[in-house]
Amino acid sequence: MQKINHTVNVQAATKLTPSSAQPLFQQVCVIGLGLIGASLAQAIKDNGLSQRLVAVDRHLPSIEEAIQHGLLEAGSAILSEVVSGSDLIVIAVPVQAVQAVFVDIKAAMDNGQLDIDCIITDVCSTKVNIIDAAQAVFETLPTGLVPAHPIAGAENSGYHARRATLFVNHSVIICELPTTSHLAIAKLRQLWEAVGASVMPMEAAHHDAILAHTSHLPHLLAFNLVEQLASHDDNLDIFRYAAGGFRDFTRIAASDPKMWHDIFFANQSAIVSALDEYSVYLNDIRQLIIDKDSTALMGLLGRAQAARRHFGHMLASTPYTDTPAMSASYNITPSNTVSGTITIPGDKSISHRSIMLGSLATGVTRVTGFLEGEDALATLQAFRDMGVTIEGPDNGNLTIHGVGMNGLKPSKTPLYMGNSGTSMRLLSGILAAQAFDSVLTGDTSLNKRPMERVAAPLRQMGAVIQSTGQKGTAPLSITGRDTAGKPLKGIDYEMPVASAQIKSCLLLAGLWAEGTTTVTQPEVSRDHTERMLSAFGYPVTVDGNRISVEGGGTLTGGDIAVPADISSAAFFMVAAAISQDSELTLKQVGINPTRTGIIDILKLMQADISLSNETHVGGEPVADITIRSSNLVGIEIPEYLVPLAIDEFPVLFIAASCAQGRTVLTGAKELRVKESDRIAVMADGLQTLGVDCTVTDDGLIIEGKGSKSNLNEVKNSQAVFGGGHIVSHHDHRIAMSFAVASLRASQQINIEGVETVNTSFPGFAELANQIGMSIDVVSA
């Protein structure tokens, strides 16, 4: 067979990687110039990863073209003609042809054309049979053998479909065999990372089982559905009118039949078991349709829709919902006045609890005003994962089909709580009492927050719960009562901190415990759990700071109207208070007295705030809040107000910076264990913007820069903050607080890491701009 040589383009061939003086390889030999092989060759070439590139392919026109394009230095249909001196061989042929390639490679090693430690890898979709094939050929597996699988592709095949960027942001699974040398693994990892992929090690059999479900089964179904429709007599009509769904679902049936033929046989047993499982599910959904079981069908469809979005985020430990960008920043131009009448999104704490109690109730619960922020959506998804049918959210409306106190089912995957401390802590109380085991995990920030504060008292109730993170942190592993034995028992617990999350966690666990569960809080904290339990017909005894429930009761579903969140309203309250000639009215905001610390503190600072249209919505008091510009004064914040304004301190620090004189906060150590250390992070940002402040162990002292002008003079005209770059540490409340600072800034403020604003206040920037601020959201 003919060998085609080509004059080497010296410049291109010696192009170096930016990070090293030498290319990673002397000569790479790619066997098979199909889509994957040719794309990898192109990526190696474009990134200067090899001194020379050669290829083997039975289709000589592809080889010739690749040489003409300057991609290859040489090529042939016969391996022995080009392989000499290669230090990497990439096998990119159909699975069934790999064994024959191994025979050729062994011969080249035996006759000295190839070094014994040459790296040999492949890109095939199955792994066990590749290892079996190598074992059949080599007496001992070569130390350079590293089976691999790039999870990337396209329905187009062949040399012409190649793209050097095919692997960017894709995963490559590599199977490290006991025989493989560390150097081979390290070099192959370096190669894949250099072409933009991320490498994951995986055991070969596990790889095959996973791929059977995620790749092989969908391809098989796509081919089969096209076959089914094509066999109809009226197939022309079917194809002519086949709209997006058919096209989307069967896109992959345009893939290479030979390749898939080989894969289906190569991974036979894993594919057959995936197919058997699929048949069971298919039959189940068929039956739901026959039975007209609307609740169960909605449950299945809702769960599947949400799970489709959810898995990606869970794996990446990133924000929960499909936000427009995984990282974003604000560029804010100073403005000096705000005005208008606006509606703030629903209360986060009440939204969480509506899902939890609605799911555990008997009957249907209809929720309006639900906060469609990532934190509350994490709670929603967790209950879907545990088998609850929840319709929506649709414009804040939800219908929850309660499953009763004993109706939750084990989730098939760890429950992902995203960024939400409330979800994780309240759910751990509920799950500690369930029959089944659970695992709770979160994003990078949540997995750093203290969880022993709930795990330790739950253990006193008899729960079996482990905080498996490094410092009493998540992931939490909870053993179900079926394994752990007896039911939980009520305890009388003195809470060391005034935390509504600890209180709620224990009260919720107490619903299933034997006897009475009592918690005593050192200070009043938000009481939404107590209120909502009562609204669902569950008796709760409140005696000052002692709150008790008896285990064994039931909840009855009903309607819940979620009021606007005072914690979100706080940003706009401060915005109007610190800026010039401003007046804002915030409609129907929750003014539960356990949440109104922000109003009390601002009033002590002489803010101009008034409430009107006071009424009750779903057991919670609400009012319109009107706030106007005022010359604030610095104060010593009374410690009893700290739990009543716990989430509002970041923005209160902005208010304090604009006040005349010093503001002192003490007794607020809890701020250090929120989404960020809110004392340290706020102090850093304030200093960046030119405000003098001193961090203390449990608080902050801020030297306000407000004017001494009397209240009749033009209010709030001077700049307090300079401009600068603020790092929010991905904490939503830090990001929004510094956005508010722009109303008294002399120059632009840029805030990095604002994507988490969606956890509590989706639409914040749009609303801020609507009342006169100037926030430009930049997505990365």
Ligand X SMILES: O=C(O)C1=C[C@@H](OP(=O)(O)O)[C@@H](O)[C@H](O)C1
Binding site for 3-phosphoshikimate: what residues are annotated? 348-349, 353, 499, 501, 647, 674
Query: Is residue 504 at the binding interface for ligand X, with CB under 6 A as the rule?
Result: yes
Nearer of residues 568 and 630 to ligand PEP, judged by Cβ: 568
> Could you tell me if 395 and 367 are in contact, meaning their C-beta atoms sit under 8 angstroms apart?
no
The encoded tokens of residue 56 equal 């083997």
Query: Is residue 455 at the binding interface for ligand X, with CB under 6 A as the rule?
Result: no
Which 432-461 residues touch ligand PEP, going by CB under 6 A? none
- Binding-site residue total for ligand X (CB under 6 A)? 10
Query: Is residue 347 at the binding interface for ligand PEP, with CB under 6 A as the rule?
Result: no
Q: Which residue is nearest to ligand PEP (CB)?
A: 421
Least distance from C-beta 772 to ligand X, angstroms?
28
Least distance from C-beta 422 to ligand X, angstroms?
4
Per DSSP, what are the bridge partners of residue 704? Answer: 661
Least distance from C-beta 650 to ligand X, angstroms?
11
Reduce the DSSP state of residue 122 to 3 states and report it.
strand
Q: Can you tell me which of 630, 682, 760, 764 binds ligand PEP, judged by CB under 6 A?
A: 760
Nearer of residues 422 and 521 to ligand PEP, judged by Cβ: 422
Site string for ligand PEP, 672-711 (x = CB under 6 A): --xx------------------------------------
Distance (Å, whole) CA 404 – CA 407 = 5
- Rg of the chain (C-alpha set): 31
Query: Is residue 647 at the binding interface for ligand X, with CB under 6 A as the rule?
Result: yes
Q: Can you tell me which of 733, 753, 757, 771 binds ligand PEP, judged by CB under 6 A?
A: 733
Which element (helix H / strand E) includes 28? strand 25-31
Instruction: Pick the piece of the chain touching ligand X (CB under 6 A) from 334-342, 494-502, 625-633, 691-699.
Output: 494-502
Instruction: Pick the piece of the chain touching ligand PEP (CB under 6 A) from 52-60, 117-125, 207-215, 415-423.
Output: 415-423
Least distance from C-beta 453 to ligand X, angstroms?
8
The encoded tokens of residue 145 equal 């053998």
Nearer of residues 567 and 588 to ligand X, judged by Cβ: 567
Which 503-522 residues touch ligand PEP, going by CB under 6 A? none
Beta sheet of 74-76, edge-to-edge order = 3-5, 74-76, 50-56, 25-31, 88-91, 119-122, 145-146
Q: Which does 526 bind (CB under 5 to 8 A by kind): ligand PEP, ligand X, none?
A: ligand X
Site string for ligand PEP, 352-391 (x = CB under 6 A): -----------------------x----------------
Q: Could you count the other beta carbons within 10 Å of the beta carbon of residue 677?
A: 16
Annotated binding site for phosphoenolpyruvate: 348, 421, 449, 501, 678, 733
Which 610-649 residues touch ligand PEP, going by CB under 6 A? 647
Sequence-ordered list of residues with C-beta below 8 angstroms from that of 233, at least 6 positions apart, any chain: none
Distance (Å, whole) CA 732 – CA 284 = 42
Query: Parallel, antiparallel, or unpaired for β 328-332 and 749-752?
Result: antiparallel
Query: Is residue 126 at the binding interface for ligand PEP, with CB under 6 A as the rule?
Result: no
Query: Is residue 501 at the binding interface for ligand X, with CB under 6 A as the rule?
Result: yes
Nearer of residues 36 and 651 to ligand PEP, judged by Cβ: 651
Distance (Å, whole) CA 554 – CA 533 = 10
Least distance from C-beta 353 to ligand X, angstroms?
8
Least distance from C-beta 445 to ligand PEP, angstroms?
8
Annotated binding site: 348-349, 353, 421, 449, 499, 501, 647, 674, 678, 733
> Could you tell me if 314 and 446 are in contact, meaning their C-beta atoms sit under 8 angstroms apart?
no
Q: Can you tell me which of 422, 631, 728, 737 binds ligand PEP, judged by CB under 6 A?
A: 422
CA distances in angstroms from 55 to 29, 65, 111, listed in the order given: 5, 12, 20
Which 333-362 residues touch ligand X, going by CB under 6 A? 349
492: left (phi over 0), alpha (psi -120 to 50) or beta: beta
Query: Is residue 121 at the binding interface for ligand X, with CB under 6 A as the rule?
Result: no
User: Among the options 208, 443, 647, 731, which is catalytic?
Assistant: 647
Q: Which does 663 bind (CB under 5 to 8 A by kind): ligand X, ligand PEP, none?
A: none
Distance (Å, whole) CA 780 – CA 777 = 10
Instruction: Name the nearest CA neighbour of 133 among 161, 157, 101.
Output: 101
Question: Strand runs (DSSP E) across 302-396, as ranges?
Answer: 328-332, 339-342, 364-368, 389-394
Nearer of residues 208 and 527 to ligand X, judged by Cβ: 527
Q: Which does 443 bind (CB under 5 to 8 A by kind): ligand PEP, ligand X, none?
A: none
Distance (Å, whole) CA 561 – CA 546 = 27
Name the phi and psi angles at 763, rounded to 5.
85, 10
> Could you tell me if 119 and 30 are in contact, meaning their C-beta atoms sit under 8 angstroms apart?
no
Query: Is residue 646 at the binding interface for ligand X, with CB under 6 A as the rule?
Result: yes
Q: Can you tell me which of 157, 365, 399, 422 binds ligand X, judged by CB under 6 A?
A: 422
Query: Is residue 526 at the binding interface for ligand X, with CB under 6 A as the rule?
Result: yes
Nearer of residues 41 and 681 to ligand X, judged by Cβ: 681
Helix axes 500-510, 528-535, angle to 10 degrees: 30
Q: Can you tell me which of 121, 125, 157, 420 binds ligand PEP, judged by CB under 6 A?
A: 420
Least distance from C-beta 235 to ligand X, angstroms?
57
Query: Is residue 676 at the binding interface for ligand X, with CB under 6 A as the rule?
Result: no
Instruction: Pick the piece of the chain touching ligand PEP (CB under 6 A) from 210-218, 420-428, 453-461, 682-690.
Output: 420-428
Nearer of residues 329 and 354 to ligand X, judged by Cβ: 354
Name the phi and psi angles at 759, rounded to 5.
-65, -35
Sequence-ordered list of residues with C-beta below 8 angstroms from that of 324, at least 6 positions apart, any chain: 779
Least distance from C-beta 491 to ligand PEP, angstroms?
23
DSSP per-residue string spanning 39-91: HHHHHHHHTT-EEEEEEE-S-HHHHHHHHHTTS-SEEESSHHHH-TT-SEEEE
Instruction: Pick the piece of the chain touching ligand X (CB under 6 A) from 185-193, 499-507, 632-640, 746-754.
Output: 499-507
Least distance from C-beta 325 to ligand X, angstroms?
24
- Catalytic residue status for 647: yes
Instruction: Pick the piece of the chain touching ligand PEP (CB under 6 A) from 247-255, 333-341, 417-425, 607-615.
Output: 417-425
Distance (Å, whole) CA 681 – CA 672 = 9
Residue position matching structure tokens 């909605």: 298
Instruction: Pick the piece of the chain touching ligand PEP (CB under 6 A) from 305-313, 419-427, 614-622, 700-708.
Output: 419-427
On the question of a cis peptide bond just before residue 23, with omega within 30 degrees of 0, the verdict is: no
Q: Which does 250 bind (CB under 5 to 8 A by kind): ligand X, ligand PEP, none?
A: none
Query: Is residue 670 at the binding interface for ligand X, with CB under 6 A as the rule?
Result: yes
Question: Strand runs (DSSP E) across 480-619, as ranges?
Answer: 492-494, 516-520, 541-543, 546-550, 559-561, 583-590, 608-617
On the question of a cis peptide bond just before residue 94, with omega within 30 degrees of 0, the verdict is: no
- Torsion 131-135-140-145 (CA) sign: negative
Name the phi and psi angles at 549, rounded to 5.
-135, 150
Q: Which does 62 bind (CB under 5 to 8 A by kind): ligand X, ligand PEP, none?
A: none
Q: Which does 670 bind (CB under 5 to 8 A by kind): ligand PEP, ligand X, none?
A: ligand X
Could you report how far apart the first and last alpha carbons of the chain are, in Å? 52
Binding site for ligand PEP (CB under 6 A): 375, 420-422, 647, 674-675, 733, 760
State the catalytic residues.
647
Residues near ligand X (CB under 6 A): 349, 422, 499-501, 504, 526, 646-647, 670
